[in-house]
Structure 1
């Protein structure tokens, strides 16, 4: 049963049909969580004693950083599955995750710079975490560009998957950079072992924003993957039937 379910997940048509039903309820939930999270954090969370209102960018910056790192693992895992089991859908997910990863990582760097100016007195420092986040952006961009320049899709998918897997070494370095090197970045505010250094009145809206970002990432991934499926499967009968209803039955007949 589990093996059958795994192979269903590798079917572009099955994914497209299933996710079409999910979007009806998942999209409104995602939008509601984003609105509530941003409103709570940006308007109602208390002012920070040291940073004032400038800290509020954390409700945009930190969730984006979390998803840029978690999304890289997802992209690499999808590429690995595509290489090992030679499935088409994981490669489509990998390509979609790369595009979204560029956006989330760029948002992380931009909001970090905006936060850094009132905090550090400069928009950019060659801080260890900044450097490796920039490398992460280049990795995402490389995978997006490689997927476009290769004339053969199969070769492009393999090269991108290999690069994604090799690049995973950068993610734990980003996590541990504040511990391994002198860093202007503060240590992790949210801790799963021990007490967090952030007050609950700020922590709860931040956690809600992170959940909302996860939902938004998932929604974006589904939409991009559906678009990629239609592009790659354009010559199949079932996609032709979507464009012109009844085509699939006429072909069979």
Structure 2
């Protein structure tokens, strides 16, 4: 793990791994989509239940991505490691996309189930705050011209945002919310019927593989960009 913190070793290790991840992502999505449409409709929700196969993985991965961003920010801030900073920066955009997808599909699911597109429920509000942390992280980096100062400021914000993760996760247990409690990771096992559990787990695996593929590709692109930037700076000094 610490050996891969070296950018050269990281690039060498991930070069063959990245296309494999993209291929695995494509296969998992193909299987997951097929299982999602093959599953029967719910006796109460009908075909609306299929939104679950998009919404739940997006919300779960959105949380996990911010955890990765926060941990990377910690190593970037404390140890000043450029690869950790690149990892944090690369996680922001896909994390924001997953969280936005969770909010949109949640609204689409909530309207027929609850009779409204949005309520200031603890779970919904905390996920919206998570999305705003993603946007704030990217906006802060873009607003400061000095990359080192931008990286430090964004890392601090990334660490502050970690406080919101347990609030998102346990909000349905701590407060009386309209959002249903956990049905997958819960004491006593999942409450989902196997016909819904199989496509949901497959789609969650597909989303996770997609994030890893995007993340590694983005980190590799960021490393290459910084190498080119450093090379141009050296050439300018020599000139």
**Which TM bucket (shorter chain)?**
over 0.9
Structure 2 counterpart of 1:38, from 30, 33, 36: 33
Q: Hey, what's the Cα distance between the residues in 2 that align with 1:31 and 1:76?
A: 28
Structure 1 counterpart of 2:161, from 142, 163, 167: 167
Structure 1 counterpart of 2:22, from 27, 38, 59: 27
Q: Hey, what's the Cα distance between the residues in 1 that align with 2:14 and 2:206?
A: 19
Query: Is 1:93 matched up with 2:123?
Result: no
Query: Is 1:232 matched up with 2:235?
Result: no
Q: Hey, what's the Cα distance between the residues in 2 that align with 1:215 and 1:192?
A: 24
Give unmatched runs, 5+ long, in structure 1.
240-253
TM-score normalised to structure 1 length: 0.88
1:1-253 → structure 2 map (5 Å cutoff): 5-6=1-2, 8-41=3-36, 43-236=37-230
For residue 233 of structure 1, give the secondary structure of its aligned residue in structure 2: helix
Q: 1:188-208 deviations in whole A, cap 9, x for unaligned?
A: 111353132110111111111
CA shift, 1:236, in A, is 4.7
Q: Hey, what's the Cα distance between the residues in 2 that align with 1:137 and 1:40?
A: 29
Determine the structure 1 residue equivalent to 2:236: none
Q: Hey, what's the Cα distance between the residues in 2 that align with 1:101 and 1:138?
A: 11
CA shift, 1:82, in A, is 1.2
Structure 1 runs, 4 residues or longer, greater than 6 Å off: none
Q: Hey, what's the Cα distance between the residues in 2 that align with 1:178 and 1:26?
A: 34
CA shift, 1:14, in A, is 2.3
RMSD value over aligned CA atoms?
1.5
Q: Hey, what's the Cα distance between the residues in 1 that align with 2:4 and 2:153?
A: 22
CA shift, 1:19, in A, is 1.4
TM-score normalised to structure 2 length: 0.93
Q: Report the number of matched residues.
A: 232
Give unmatched runs, 5+ long, in structure 2.
233-239
Determine the structure 2 residue equivalent to 1:249: none
Q: Hey, what's the Cα distance between the residues in 1 that align with 2:89 and 2:185?
A: 32
Q: 1:114-152 deviations in whole A, cap 9, x for unaligned?
A: 111111111111111111111001100111111111111
**Conservation of the 8 A alpha-carbon contact between 2:133 and 2:161:** yes
